[in-house]
Chain A
Amino acid sequence: MPSPRYWREMPQRYRLEASQCTECGKVSFPPRIVCGCGARDFKKTNVSETGTIVSYTTIRVAPDAFVIQAPYNIAIVEADNGVRITTQVVDCAPEELAIGKKVKFVFRKLYEEGHCGIINYGYKAVLV
């Protein structure tokens, strides 16, 4: 993730900022310009702090920046307000994960741009 994109995505990565359609009430993450229902009016909201694992996998052969974390877990989490997010599930062994388990979102380091580059932060999930 190059630095300018990291800056632009801070409201979503740091605070899980989303948009809620004023017509149909659907919450979109990341925020959208046009809702699936065709409406264009949104109000700012946030993805719920907790959610449920919909699906998951364990990465054992990781990309270079994540080798030190392997094996690590990736899950699709459905937040309590309906938003589905792909996220790392940390602080647990792969065998602890199961579909339907409750998680909460936490603020963690995503990765470092080498020894001298910026540190990218954002959301991950932990089991509750």
Chain B
Amino acid sequence: MVGIVGYGSYVPRYRIKVEEIAHQWGKDSSAVKRGLLLQEKTVPGLDEDTITISVEAAKNALKRAEIAPEEIGALYIGSESHPYAVKPSGTVVAEALGIVPNVHIADYEFACKAGTEAMFVAHGLVKADLLKYAMGIGADTSQGAPGDALEFSASAGGSAFIFGKGNIVAEIIDTFSYTTDTPDFWRREGAFYPLHGGRFTGEPAYFKHVLGAGRAILEKSGYKASDFAYAIFHMPNGKFPLTAGKKLGFRKEQMEPGWIVPLMGNTYSGSSPTGFSATLDVAKPGDLILLVSFGSGAGSDAFIFKVTERINEVRNKAITVKELLEQNRIYLDYGQYAKYRGKIIMNE
């Protein structure tokens, strides 16, 4: 039985409300809130980045896994905001966790689905008996251009998952990937902010791939939407995942625990993995969970998990996503936000 032996998340304490961003750019906040179903988003501290977020999420995963860090044979981080263009994020994270030197490390990049890529590969290596344990992390400090619609959602946070064969909290029943070449969102080398295809990022990109992967894994596994306790779909805004889930036959109650975007924003590579982590926080033994990510470019990874009895033992060994999102929030105004996100040009 291959599955997740430990999971954990981390979300920075800083927040900015939709009203604050809308006011800055002369937009109607109620229209944005109604249209995108967003209230606020997370913002990384001045001293936080994908690496520090990954370390904190991985520490929480290790608390729940109850294994020695040295037993982990691979560590993969998916992100579109790796702090270095050349130099892995994973080496810093592995060194901080005490996993080095007997470990295989790689950084992944595939817009918003790099986190589930890391999980996909980590799972495959354990399933193939090449490694006892492997860790997959999805984390980001996402960027949206000032004044762009993305600025209302691009946020920070991440989740880590340790895969293994013993003492698992959620078995992996099936996986599926659906990928095409679709230039719906991109950032060229050296460019500070990403660009996107505006309204054309919906049907030909997000929905085509999320529904493609979702329908395929349901058909392959033989399960129906009604068999699942929960489902998580990538959350670029509040509306898209609910629409995708409805088209696949899921009810809002099945998506609610993992639908964290109104308070968290779109954490890119950390989005659907953190929604999955929030769902594990409330899941019961025997529950089936569907997770479908989406990354522009474009593709979706789909997973079916079955929760085991061990979830009740480990759930409270680390902080939950709900606690991370609702406790100790520090609100920023737009000026502070611009400083925190490096949008102000400083002298050397």
Whether B96 lies near A15 (C-beta < 8 A) is: yes
A119 to chain B: closest residue by CB: B83
Residues of chain B lying within 8 A (CB to CB) of residue A119? 49, 51, 83-84
Other-chain residue from B96, B330, B339 in contact with A68 (beta carbon distance below 8 A): B339
CA distance A115 to B339 in the complex (A): 16
What 0/1 readout, one digit per residue, does chain A (90-128) give for beta carbons within 8 Å of chain B? 110000000000000011111000110011010010000
Contact status A106-B92, CB under 8 Å: no
Smallest Cβ distance from A100 to chain B, in angstroms? 19
Known contacts A10-B95, A14-B95, A121-B52; is-contact A68 B46 (Cβ 8 Å)? yes
A121 with B92, Cβ < 8 A, contacts A90-B47, A110-B47 known: yes
| Min distance, Cβ B55 to any Cβ of chain A, angstroms | 4
Is the contact region of chain B dominated by helix, strand, or loop, or is it mixed?
loop
**What class of interface size applies to chain A in its complex with B?**
10 to 19
C-alpha gap A106/B348 in the complex (Å): 28
The contact string, 1 if C-beta is below 8 Å from chain B, for chain A 17-44, is 0000000000000000000000000000
Complex contact B47–A69 (CB within 8 A): yes
B residues less than 8 Å from A114 (CB atoms): 348
Question: Hey, which chain A residues are within 8 Å of B95, CB to CB?
Answer: 10, 14-15
Interface membership of B109, Cβ < 8 A: no
B20 at the interface (CB under 8 A from A): no
- Whether the pair B52, A15 counts as a contact (CB closer than 8 A) is no
> Are B348 and A109 within 8 A (Cβ)?
no
Is there contact, CB below 8 Å, between A107 and B96?
yes
User: Nearest Cβ distance between residue B53 and chain A, in whole angstroms?
Assistant: 9
| Chain B contacts with A in 304-348, Cβ cutoff 8 A | 328, 330, 339, 346, 348
Smallest Cβ-Cβ distance to A67: which chain B residue: B346
The answer for the CA separation of A14 and B91 in the assembled complex, in Å, is 12
Q: How far is the CB of A37 from chain B (nearest CB, A)?
A: 28
Q: Which of B40-63 contact A (CB under 8 A)?
A: 45-49, 51-52, 55-56, 59
Whether A68 and B346, one on each chain, are in contact in the complex, defined by CB atoms closer than 8 angstroms, is yes
B13 at the interface (CB under 8 A from A): yes
* Chain B stretch 70-119: residues in CB contact (< 8 A) with chain A: 83-84, 87, 92, 95-98
In the complex, which residue of chain B has the Cβ closest to the Cβ of A123?
A: B96
B324 shortest CB reach to chain A, Å: 13
Q: Is the CB of A121 within 8 A of B51?
A: yes
A49 to chain B, nearest CB (A): 9
Of B52, B83, B330, B346, which is within 8 A of A107 by CB?
B52
Task: Give which listed residue, B47, B83, B84, contacts A124 with CB less than 8 A.
Answer: B47
Q: Is the CB of A108 within 8 A of B96?
A: no
Q: Are B98 and A15 in contact (CB under 8 A)?
A: yes
In the complex, are the beta carbons of A69 and B46 less than 8 A apart?
A: yes
Across the interface, name the chain B residue whose C-beta is closest to A108: B47
Chain B residues with Cβ below 8 Å from A115 are: 348
- Provide the residues of chain B in CB contact with A68, threshold 8 Å: 46, 339, 346
Chain B residues, CB < 8 A from A107 = 52, 55-56, 59, 96
Given contacts A68-B339, A91-B330, A115-B348, contact A108 B52 (CB under 8 A): yes
Chain A residues, Cβ within 8 Å of B348: 114-115
A109, B59: Cα distance in complex, Å? 17
Give CA–CA (A108, B44) in the complex, Å: 11
Cβ A14 vs Cβ B96 within 8 A: yes
30 contacts between A and B (CB under 8 A): A10-B95, A14-B95, A14-B96, A15-B95, A15-B96, A15-B97, A15-B98, A90-B45, A90-B47, A91-B45, A91-B328, A91-B330, A106-B52, A107-B52, A107-B55, A107-B56, A107-B96, A108-B45, A108-B52, A109-B47, A109-B48, A109-B49, A110-B47, A119-B49, A119-B51, A119-B83, A119-B84, A121-B52, A121-B92, A124-B47
List 5 tightest A-B contacts by C-beta distance, closest first. A108-B47, A107-B55, A14-B96, A109-B47, A91-B13
